Amino acid sequence: MNVLVTGANGLLATNTIIALLSRGYQVKGLIRDERKFLLPPHENLALVLGDITDMESLERAVNNCDYVIHCAATTDQNLLHYDDYYRINVAGTENIIQAALKHDVQKIIYVSTANTFGYGTLQQPGDETTPMKPPFRDAWYAKSKWEGEKLIQAIQDRIKVTVVNPTFMIGAYDGKPSSGAIIQMGYRKRLVFHPPGGKNFVNVEDVATGVVNALERGENGEAYLLAGENLTYRQFFQKLNQQAGQKSLLMSIPRFILLTAGYIGDLVRALGVKTPLSSTNMKILCVKNYYSNQKARQRLDISFGPIESGIAKSIRWFKEHQMLPD
């Protein structure tokens, strides 16, 4: 079976390609710059230059594929207008849909985010039935992924579709880096300042397994949270300390300082200056957004390992690529 993976050089896409190749799939990777691809050549892997916003290259990539795993998205937190997210995460998804319908693709796996569902507490974590909550309702990235989900789910009577909703992924092949920036933030630092909130951290290898399992057994029209451990930021950095063999002093940043910085960021952004500082982003750092993986474990037959594994693999990969000090 032939599978197209969009955004092939991303953290999850790269790990998903590894998982697909290990199961014998023929894989196409849609990528804008082959020089940024992180894997060695493989006889069952072909790279296709293109972009989900360019229909000509997208149709060339989708042609003769049985399945599409749509990983490509912009996650940048410093974009100044919702249209910047919409063009890629929503309009790009519509392009995927049209190309898949035209070329008789059997199934689309849409990679979304856990934050299109409402988070919960440690005792009652959010699940696939929990409606989206603020501050994520006001976050342009989460909103654009929610809109992409609706487009995908609207065609389930014409083509099989399954949505996967990963939480915060940690692991190897994070070349940008994306979520792995949190490792760089705390590695070999004497003092680490961390937000007061928390989130769900998951090994990217487990998410990649979940994506391929969703391809093989995910139900049409269903969504699955791919979640690992619910931790405060302090607990995460404690685990990083253990894996790195270090004794960084951890200090929580007071909520009012983060919110003040966020409102200053709003003013700076209003002047046209790109910055990840915003009141919405700072509010996100102050909440504990916790999720359940029960549905994925039961219906996708997947287990989720301790986050220490992902931290260790991330550290090792970053060191091998001179992205962390020895």
Confirm whether 261 is domain-assigned: no
| Environment class of 171 (CB within 10 Å of its CB; exposed 0-12, middle 13-18, buried 19+) | buried
pLDDT score for 107: 98
With respect to residue 62, please indicate whether it lies within any of the assigned structural domains. yes
Q: Is the pLDDT of residue 216 over 80?
A: yes
Residue 254, in any domain of the structure: no
325 CB neighbour count, 10 Å cutoff: 9
> How many structural domains are present in the chain?
1
Residue 296 lies in a domain: yes
- 49 within a domain of the structure (yes/no): yes
As a whole number of angstroms, the distance between CA 96 and CA 91 comes to 9
Task: Report yes or no on 206 lying in a domain.
Answer: yes
Write the pLDDT tens digit of every residue in 94-105.
999 999 999 999
Cα–Cα distance for residue pair 234/214, rounded to 1 Å:
32
Q: Give the helix ranges, DSSP H, for 220-278.
A: 233-244, 255-270
Domain that holds residue 165: 2-171+199-229+289-305
Q: What percent of the chain has pLDDT over 70?
A: 100
* CATH number assigned to the domain comprising residue 46: 3.40.50.720
In a domain, 311, yes or no: no
Task: Check pLDDT > 80 for residue 178.
Answer: yes
For the entire predicted model, the pTM comes to 0.96
Return phi, psi of residue 128, to 5°: -70, -5
Task: Please report the beta strands in the chain, taking only residues with DSSP state E, as ranges in sequence order.
Answer: 2-5, 26-31, 45-49, 67-70, 107-111, 160-166, 168-170, 191-194, 198-203, 223-226, 229-232, 249-252, 288-289
Single-letter code of the amino acid located at 135: P
